[in-house]
Chain A
Amino acid sequence: MKIPEIFEFIRVDERLPHILCPGCGIGSAMNAMVRAIIESGLKNDDVCVVSGIGCSSRIPGYIDADTFHTLHGRAIPSATGVKLAHPELEVIVIAGDGDLLAIGGNHFIHAARRNLDMTVILINNFNYGMTGGQASPTTPQGKYAKTAPYGWTERNFDACAIAQASGAVFVARSTTYHVTHLRTLIKQAIKKKGFALVEVISQCPTLYGRLNRMGDAVKMLEYFRDNTISISQIKDPKEAEGKIVIGVLHDVEAPEYYETYKEIIRRAQAQKHHV
């Protein structure tokens, strides 16, 4: 894909340069998302990109489409209103781990259960970036954050496992190192009818990386390269221990919310004509 084609989808005029730190992984995730949108054959006016609050949630501001920067944690319920009003729009939620899993955790599981057609791109950089590196629901035990100066004692969420257990029909994971792979997964998620999650393991070299002495962005990306395993390559579960498992983790069929609601409309209208 040529670069100008990507720029068709970016608000180049007054919006750039962006607010992200040098080396941040969110730009790679955005790049993968935009390319996935284009490769899915979607045009600017076919999509609505929705986010909450946080670094990852700033992405919609750079996308030349209908974009919806909602309240902290509320991207998914806000997107629910958009999708039900305009089922023809491809609704893509892009937000961070704090937004989608802490303050928005309840919406996340219920949206997966409800199975309304939307693609959720969860950029997981293991901490709250915008507020300065505090611990999040995905911060691993023992790691450091501004609110965990002695090490984080809580256990972390596995967003993919939660989504799958809650009823999501498509669950996948990749990293900002595996950008081509990531783009393919987002394309699959867009194509999937129902609630589709793509978790993007991403680097925050400015905060999480620095607080945990993980080196610069390149070092963090190398870590992702060396510590991931594709789900298709796992023959013995032991091989996955301590590794980030990437790939399509779950892909099933289940009735999509709006499709079932259309059936409700049909039944209600048939009943109305009976009376």
Chain B
Amino acid sequence: MDPELNPDLAAAPRAEALAVAALVAAGRRVEPVTVPAEGLWLLRLAEPVRDDRFFVGEVPAAQAAVELRDPVLGACRGGAVLLHGDAEWAGALAVCDAVARAGWPGAHEVEALRERGRAARRDLARMRAAIRERTRVSFAELGQEDAG
């Protein structure tokens, strides 16, 4: 699994990911290297002062690892981790990951999917930044009010 590629692909719409995976897997055999799994993962965080570890809760997650076999090009492997309890989606992303990393025909389609995922992540980041902006506190102004 490419740690830079995976978040971008995972942010692309599910239906598009499944369609691209089906396209790039056509004529190739997809062998699961691990049994695709979906369920709840315990999310572990570190408290920043003393670095104490604690479990903040559970998140739905899925993972898959596949080997693609092409009659001409040979074999390549890919994997994916997804913060959704959807093993089918994770499997599709693993196929895309394998093709992109190997540079096989179909890598351009995966790159286009990645670009849509990137755009979705940018939109989400902008939306979150706007929410944070509304909660920004100007301590200088607070100080002036206290003085008055």
Decide whether A and B are members of one complex: no
